[in-house]
Amino acid sequence: MLGLLKRVAQRGPDLNPDICHQVEEKIFQFSQGRIRVLWFYDRNKIILCTHGFVKKTQKTPQSEKDHAKSMMSRYFEEKRSAALRKIPWDEV
């Protein structure tokens, strides 16, 4: 997954659709086996992963897409209100 993130950050989501594709407006999905990671872009090709899940059906469940959209809305709202704060990796 980390390799996919790096390639998409550098080139955009022009990968094989079996590995990376758009599932909703502005929401993308990385796929590796049954594991899925939903994500979106911010400026300068910053990739923000909302969450991951194990896919059990043919299509991505609407509840997973809704959760990703909610996280994206929350991110941009907090960014607009300057409520975001960076946490160094060693503090996570």
Residue 92 confidence (pLDDT) above 60: no
Residue 65: which region, alpha, beta or left (left: phi > 0; alpha: psi -120 to 50)?
A: alpha
Residue extents of the structural domains in the chain: 2-84
Partners of residue 66 on adjacent β-strands: none
What pLDDT is stored for residue 50 in this prediction?
Answer: 94
Write down the mean pLDDT value for the chain: 86
Encode pLDDT of 30-87 as tens digits. 988 889 999 998 886 788 899 999 989 888 999 999 999 999 999 999 999 988 887 7
Q: Does the global pTM surpass 0.75? A: yes
